[in-house]
Structure 1
Amino acid sequence: MYKATMALVQSQDWFYISVVYGFNKPVERRLLWNDLRTLYGLLGSDAWLLLGDFNSIRTLSDRVGSVSFDGIAAHEFNSCLEDIDMEDMASKGFLFTWTNRRGGLGFVKSRIDRALINSRWQVQYPESEAVFQAPGMSDHCPIVVTILRQQSRRIPFKFFNFWMSHDKFSSLLDNAWSGVVHGNPMVALSHKMRNLKFLLKDFNKEFYSDIQKRVSLAKEELDTLQCQCFSLPFDPALHEMEKASLLRYTTLVSAEEEFYK
């Protein structure tokens, strides 16, 4: 037995949800497995979520208690899921989703409730998840599915003027521009610009990553040297170190200010 519903997301992406309740007897569940195979052929390549009480486990580890393991029934369930391109959705909460609520030797708990997705769903909603919550008054855990689109992590490239004040910037620029690139001038320019972008990213990571921490450490170093200069006012080497430290600190502060603009 199953119930199927269909929804439209953001006016463009269709997905299907089928809610399942499997019969208790393995022989009767074979009709469900065949119906799911037929439904798979009708849905094509659209995203599909299949969830509910399948009344069947997939592996021996899906059950704890006195009931014996039906390997044939598990094989039929797994074969169906393989045929319809379904895998368990990423999940949290209770592993075993049903219990007979008996104590002692008669206690049984099983993972017979599942949220399953096809490969198209994984591509379309890679950050979705199922949470199996506490059963409360029921003997089954309720399933709460959260559907999230993958958030774009692409950060646009940004050129910072403070890079040009670094003493290694000129040599980096020369290295990027001196390489030989074959092709017409526009192709050569495009390749060199792309190469420069990668070099600048590494350059920024080496000298300016975690800018707040770098500013904090530079300030600590400057404070220490200035205290020493007050204690030893006639030490020229110490004053030169204080000057260099002040330059590093002011450079990093300027970089931090520009970074957060």
Structure 2
Amino acid sequence: MELVDTQWEDGSFTWFKGDNQEAASRIDRFLLSSEWDGSFRNIKQVPLQRLVSDHVPIALQCGSWEVPKSNFKFQNWWLTKEGFVDKVSDWWNSFEFSGRPDYILASKLKALKEKLKEWSRSDQGSLKLQKSRLLNQMADLDSILDSRIMTEEEIAKKAELYWNWKKS
């Protein structure tokens, strides 16, 4: 059928058998026709974090692999972070602008946006960083399976990490 198995990034297995991962294999993959493969550039298969299933999810990426710059977005969950409202209040009160009231308001909002962007790049303000850290810790535990069976403590730790990831 002239199917092409595209580039595979990272990982070696896509399926695991049993609670202790006694067997593993790469049985999941994307197969493309050579015509489709020639119509798109930079096609690759990327394994995602395995959370519950015994199969590793796979994403098919094509086109530019550069991450585009995103616009600033206020995250409602920031309001639940301890001390966040006080931090915003302190920032707001520290801004000094003079002029018409609409100019002062616009200037303060712009300055606050910059402070929030700066804060959102920190561990405390970035849900993406927090979730990524949890996924990396789970992946570290999964990598143990390449050499040995996980201990009960490691299995419990992975379950706790998964629970925290699900909550966030």
Q: Same fold (TM over 0.5)?
A: no
Taking structure 1 as the reference length, what is the TM-score of the superposition?
A: 0.26
Q: Which has the larger radius of gyration?
A: 1
Q: Which has the higher contact order (CA 8 A, sep 6+)?
A: 2
Q: TM-score of the superposition, structure 2-length normalised?
A: 0.38
